[in-house]
Structure 1
Amino acid sequence: MNNSLYKPIRKPILILSVLAGGIIFTGCASAPQMSGGAPPGNAPLQEEAPANEVSTDSSATAQAAQVPSSRPQLIKKASMTIVVDSVGKSLETVSQLIDKQQGDLIGLEEQQPRVGYTRHRATIQMRVPQNSLELTLDELAKLGTVENRTITAEDVGNQIVDIQARLNNLRKTETNLQKIMDKAGSVRDVLSVAKELNNVRESIERIDAQLKNLQNQVAYSTITLNLEAAVSANATQPAFGSQVQEAWNNSTHSLGEFTVGLLKLGIWLLVYSPYLLVLVAAGYGLICWKRNSQRLVQTPDSSQPDRR
């Protein structure tokens, strides 16, 4: 009887087990299909990503190629010593060369031969655009024989960048202070902000002048040129008439100075004459008083009779 009751119950359980196993098997079979089917739909995206990376790298490379490399900020100075046939003609040529290169003449010192056998010398300081420095030195070398030639350069790029950064910060500070000053309510606050704003503007002017000075030194190079005559020149002897004229001029000049000195002495004596008269009168009175004293002492002795 018990066996007959369990048989109807076992059949539904078996059917449910079979259905559950089928569902599980179907889910396991469909999962690989879903995981395997997803990539084909996303495959074009994965293939497009490397292409985008390549295009980005190429554009970055193109931009880097378009950015110009900054030139070094150099202050260049040059010095040359040249032996020439004629210093005078060379000075004219150098002046024309400076005008041609759009430069400036800073200084000129010329030493003419005066004593003994000396050379005619001249020293010139000039400024030319930095991009014309080499060309100018080559043109100067054609004046004669180059004894020495030196070029020095100082990199001031970091200084210029630092000054520009300080200048930008100060200008931002100036703008902020101006805004604060516009919003300030009390007179005390306005005066305090105005004082600080004035200090900032003074700093801006000073730093801006330093920046312009450095930029000007970078833009223009300085050349010191020493010219020497090839043959020493004999000092010319002045003519006889010139020597006589020079002696006459010196003597008349000395006589004039002596006369002026006497006049000055007379003026001083005239101004101090009252004091001199007082001193003379006091001295004369003292002398007279001494003489009278001596007479009074001698008079009683001489008036006594001789009693012998």
Structure 2
Amino acid sequence: MKTHLKTNSSPHKPNPNQTNISTTRFAVAVFLTLSSAIALPSCGSPPPNATGGAASPSSRENEIAASAPPPPPAAQRAAAGSKTADVTKKAAETPVTRPQLIKKAELSVVVKSIDATTKSVTNIVEKQQGDILGFQNQKPPDSSVRQTASVEIRVPQERLETTLEALAKLGTVENRSLTAQDVTEQLVDSEARLRNLRKSEEMVLKIMERSGSVGDVLKASQELSNIRESIERIDAQLKSLRNQVAYSTISLTLEAAVSAQQTPEPSLGLRVQETWGKATHSVGELTLGLFGLGIWLLAYSPYFLLIAAAVYGFNRFKKQQSVTKIQEPKPPAAN
């Protein structure tokens, strides 16, 4: 006998417990992910104070750093550095203005021979590219007095010391002095005045170009004439000052040593000859003078004759008058 067991089996259904477990796991994973995403930004920036006050110092520094402009690129920084270096280099290379000085020197030297030393002085001045402005040689009448010579020299200022050293080697230096006059301010002031006058000249010329009355044009012309006269005067002063600065003057005095030998006295015959020559010359001068006087008297002789005749007539008239008074009869006296 066969027994058939009949089993009523329902179709396979998913387990609700397993479904809930997987759903729970998924939700937990999503929660953790969101929590980490929210927690990371919150950790980067500190929370504000509970009272709503100012942010902490670290937050201020972060804000300042965020608001600061971005640093320049490397190329711009290099260019800025090169410009600063160029400016510094130019400032270092700018020459310092030297004082403008007018130098004058005086030198007195005792030499053996004035003539030989004068030639040496001329050679030294030519070598130093200078000029001799004046020369005076004084020969004394007595040998006991030193012979002196003065020389006025002009040389470029940069060669002044070299020239003085060369001249000092010609003999024994007795006196040496050097003076300098600073004319820097005077030059700067004159140059500034000259620039202002030239600007005024340009302005007056522009005014004259505009159309205007005859009186305005004449006034502008007169003002222009005054401005140009001032410009010429200041320009001449500037040229003179610059020339004096560029060239220095040296007053050189040369003195010869006193000679121990006295000049010999002339002989007796030479003295007699000189005296005879002077005497004959004097006689000749006197003769010529008397001859000239005679010519003058001869030329004025008519006037002398007239004067003599007048004197003679006046004396004759006085004598006649005196004789007449004596011959007149006296009246008889009354009894």
Q: 1:177 to 1:246 in 2, by over 3 A?
A: farther
Moved more, 277-286 or 174-183: 277-286
Mark the CA change 1:258 to 1:135 in structure 2 (over 3 Å): closer, same or farther.
Answer: farther
Cα distance in 1 for partners of 2:290, 2:79 equals 102
The equivalent position to 2:259 in structure 1, one of 215, 218, 232, is 232
Query: 1:121/1:175 Cα in 2 relative to 1: closer, same or farther (>3 Å)?
Result: same
Q: Measured at CA, do residues 41 and 76 of structure 1 come closer, stay the same or move farther in structure 2, by a change above 3 Å?
A: closer
Quote how far apart the aligned CAs of 1:113 are. 3.0
CA contact (8 A) 1:114 1:236 kept: no
Contact 1:85 1:231 in 2 (8 A): no
Count residues with an aligned counterpart: 276
Deviation at 1:39, TM superposition (A): 2.1
1:201 counterpart = 2:228: yes
Residue 147 of structure 2: which of 84, 108, 120 is its match? Answer: 120
Q: CA deviation at 1:62?
A: 1.1
Q: Spell out, residue by residue over 1:136-184, the C-alpha distance to the aligned partner (whole angstroms, 9 max, x if none).
A: 1111111011122111111111111111111111122222222222335
| Structure ID, larger Rg | 2
* 2:327 is aligned with 1:299: yes
Contact 1:105/1:126, CA 8 A, preserved across alignment: yes
1:65 is matched with 92
Q: 1:133 to 1:257 in 2, by over 3 A?
A: farther
Give the fraction of aligned pairs with identical amino acids, expressed as a percent. Answer: 41
Flag the 1:253–1:204 CA change in 2: closer, same or farther, 3 A: farther
1:282 aligns with 2:321: no
Matches within 5 A, 1:194-273: 194-232=221-259, 236=263, 244=273, 248=277, 252=281, 255-256=284-285, 259=288, 263=292, 267=296, 270=299
Instruction: Tell me which protein shows more helix as a share of its residues.
Output: 1
Query: What one-letter code is carried by the residue in structure 1 that aligns with 2:254?
Result: L
The one-letter code sitting in structure 2 at the alignment partner of 1:171 is: R
Q: Is the 8 A contact 1:113 1:233 kept in 2?
A: no
Contact 1:120 1:232 in 2 (8 A): no
The alpha carbon displacement at 1:134 in A equals 0.9
Cα offset, 1:42, TM superposition: 3.4
The gaps in structure 2 that reach 5 residues or longer are 1-41, 49-54
Give 1:131's match in structure 2, choosing from 139, 143, 158: 158
Report the CA distance shift for 1:154/1:257 in structure 2 as closer, same or farther (over 3 A): farther
Distance 1:65 1:207 in 2: 33
C-alpha distance in 2 between matches for 1:257 and 1:205: 63
Q: Deviations over 1:80-113 (max 9, x none)?
A: 1111111111100001111111111112121213
Residue 75 of structure 1 and its aligned partner are, at CA, apart by 0.8
TM superposition score normalised by structure 1: 0.73
Establish whether residue 145 from structure 1 lines up as the match of residue 160 from structure 2.
no
1:188 paired with 2:218, answer: no
- How far apart in 1 are the matches of 2:192 and 2:323? 103
Stretch moving more, 143-152 or 87-96: 143-152
Q: Taking structure 1 as reference, are residues 37 and 133 closer, same or farther at Cα in structure 2, changes over 3 Å only?
A: closer
Amino acid of the structure 1 residue aligned with 2:250: I
Structure 1 residue runs without a partner (length 5+): 1-25
Task: Report the equivalent of 1:170.
Answer: 197
Give me the CA root mean square deviation.
4.1
SS in structure 2 opposite 1:158?
Answer: helix
Q: Is the 8 A contact 2:190 2:238 kept in 1?
A: yes
Counterpart residue type for residue 325 of structure 2: V
Take 1:289 and 1:176, find their aligned partners in 2: how far apart are those partners? Answer: 95
On the 8 A contact 1:119/1:233 being kept in 2, the answer is: no
Letter in structure 2 aligned against 1:299:
Q
Whose RCO is larger (CA < 8 A, sep 6+)?
1
How far the C-alpha of 1:38 sits from its partner, in A, is 6.1
Which residue matches 1:77? 104
Measured in 1, the distance between the counterparts of 2:64 and 2:183 equals: 66
Between 118-127 and 280-289, the greater mean CA deviation after superposition:
280-289
The 1:188–1:117 alpha-carbon spacing in structure 2 relative to 1, beyond 3 Å, is same
